[in-house]
Amino acid sequence: MNTRRRFLQLGASMSLASMLAACGGEDARAESTSSPSSSTGATASTPENNLKGWRMPDEAEPHTATWMAFVANANVWGPELAMPVKNTLANIANAIVQFEPVNMLVNANDYTLAKQKLDPRVTLHIAEIDDLWIRDTGPVFVKNNRGEQAGVNFNFNGWGKKQSYQRDAGVSKKVCELSGRTMLNTKLVLEGGGIEVDGQGTAIITESGVLNPNRNPGVSKVACEAELKKLLGIQKVIWLPGIAGKDITDGHTDFYARFASPGVVIAGLEHDQASYDYAITRLHLDILKKSTDAKGNPFNVLVLDAPSKVRSDYESKEFAAGYINFYVVNGAVIMPQFGDMETDALAKATLEKAFPNRRVIALNIDPISAGGGGIHCATQQQ
């Protein structure tokens, strides 16, 4: 399993002028978004935010809606993948909207296409966007005991400035505006795919993606944990080492470990000894089995084995074949399947065990996997 968006690092080798030109090619009717500099505001350590008691819910808690982004620019994805990716995004959204509302951001020049492909229950919002990975570009929603909801803007910077992100830097602000939620600002730079929570004070985070000079130079674990406590209500962080420099995300948590519920963790395991994830998934599994949550309870760790093969249509060395990138919605779990009948069935059975009161729906998402991501990467819960 080669995880997440390695080939998109090609964008980092482009000149600044060419990246800006590529990003400027969309229809000018799309609404404007913030620049990278304007998305970073005051820290969340103000007295007002401290008193709010914000908490990031577990993904399995009830959602108001799911947010997605209907975009696959040819300059990023290539002409062969652009349309198949949009078709796959539509399939994912059409599956989710059977269970909860879906809000879809779309560039103005893709609006008609999106309208044709999406279930009419999916709500379209014209916005300027660069790429589809709203898990990372969008806000992390939090709530408090008074029923208030807000979105944290974690200052998306193109995964450490590896890809052009001028438009995507404004997605958090745009989503907060469209949802009518207050936006909380911080100086921390991280992505939603880099943090996994149980909703009761425990987080799993990869060091490689957050404590990285390309996001947070000079920021210590202690300082990071203090800020996440104020923003997300985190009391304890399980730090996984992750692995930097092998994919564009620098090893996001949501391709290694996920909470099914408080006390239950699902971990991915790679069996291909040639993969850079072979050793690191074993190290992560060992750490998780020896760890306890914020209440001092040990984890029940379930394992999802990576598939040994995938369908040949979109197979490449960048293909992200990870079941761990599932997405939990109201009443269901949306998971990928890769054409390995044995591991597809085992993964579905494991998720049915972990989520006994939800339907588990398996989708072919090969075009998105060919770009190094998955269903969780392409969605963000509110």
What per-residue confidence (pLDDT) applies to 47? 41
What are the two backbone dihedrals, phi and then psi, of residue 113, each rounded to the nearest 5 degrees?
A: -60, -45
**Tokens, residue 207:** 């060091």
> Does residue 179 have a pLDDT over 80?
yes
> Does residue 46 have a pLDDT over 60?
no
Query: What confidence category does residue 33 fall into, taking pLDDT thresholds of 50, 70 and 90?
Result: very low
What per-residue confidence (pLDDT) applies to 52? 77
Residues 165, 152, 330, 148, Cα dihedral to 10°: -150
What per-residue confidence (pLDDT) applies to 295? 97
> Does residue 265 have a pLDDT over 60?
yes
From 23, 176, 224, 377, the catalytic residue: 377
SS (H, E, C) the chain: CCCCCCHHHHHHHCCHHHHHHHHCCCCCCCCCCCCCHHHCCCCCCCHHHHHHCCECCCCCCCCCCEEEEECCCHHHHCHHHHHHHHHHHHHHHHHHCCCCCEEEEECHHHHHHHHHHCCCCCEEEECCCCCCCHHHHCCEEEECCCCCEEEEECCCCHHHHCCCCCCHHHHHHHHHHHHCCEEEECCCCCCHHHEEECCCCEEEEEHHHHCCCCCCCCCCHHHHHHHHHHHHCCCEEEEECCCCCCCCCCCCHHHCEEEEECCEEEEEECCCCCCCHHHHHHHHHHHHHHCECCCCCECEEEEEECCCCCCCCCCCCCCCCCHHHCEEECCEEEEEECCCHHHHHHHHHHHHHHCCCCEEEEEECHHHHHCCCCCHHHCEEC
**Tokens, residue 38:** 């304007």
> Does residue 91 have a pLDDT over 80?
yes
> Does residue 4 have a pLDDT over 50?
no
For strand 332-337 and strand 359-364, is the pairing parallel, antiparallel, or unpaired?
parallel
- Concerning whether 377 is annotated as a catalytic residue, the answer is yes
pLDDT in tens, 350-363: 999 999 999 999 99
pLDDT in tens, 158-177: 999 999 999 999 999 999 99
pTM of the model: 0.88
> Does residue 36 have a pLDDT over 60?
no
What per-residue confidence (pLDDT) applies to 317? 79
Query: What confidence category does residue 35 fall into, taking pLDDT thresholds of 50, 70 and 90?
Result: very low
What per-residue confidence (pLDDT) applies to 318? 81
What per-residue confidence (pLDDT) applies to 28? 28
What per-residue confidence (pLDDT) applies to 3? 42
Query: What confidence category does residue 316 fall into, taking pLDDT thresholds of 50, 70 and 90?
Result: confident
* Other beta carbons less than 10 A from residue 119's beta carbon: 13
Give the domains, in start order, of the chain with CATH numbers: 7-381 (3.75.10.10)
Residue 85 · residue 72 · CB < 8 Å: yes
pLDDT in tens, 187-213: 999 999 999 999 999 999 999 999 999
How far is 343 from 372, CA to CA, in rounded Å?
Answer: 19
Residue percentage of the chain with pLDDT more than 90: 84
pLDDT in tens, 50-69: 457 999 999 999 999 999 99
- The whole-number average pLDDT for the span 245-271 is 96
Nearest to 136 by CA among 109, 94, 165: 165
Residue with tokens 């761990």: 324
pLDDT in tens, 97-156: 999 999 999 999 999 999 999 999 999 999 999 999 999 999 999 999 898 999 999 999
* Other beta carbons less than 10 A from residue 211's beta carbon: 23
> Does residue 221 have a pLDDT over 60?
yes
Query: What confidence category does residue 313 fall into, taking pLDDT thresholds of 50, 70 and 90?
Result: very high
What per-residue confidence (pLDDT) applies to 20? 27
> Does residue 30 have a pLDDT over 70?
no
Amino acid at 158: G
For strand 66-70 and strand 123-126, is the pairing parallel, antiparallel, or unpaired?
unpaired
> Does residue 43 have a pLDDT over 60?
no
Q: What is the mean pLDDT of the chain?
A: 88
Strand partners, 124: 104
**Tokens, residue 167:** 């438009």
* Other beta carbons less than 10 A from residue 250's beta carbon: 25
What per-residue confidence (pLDDT) applies to 49? 52
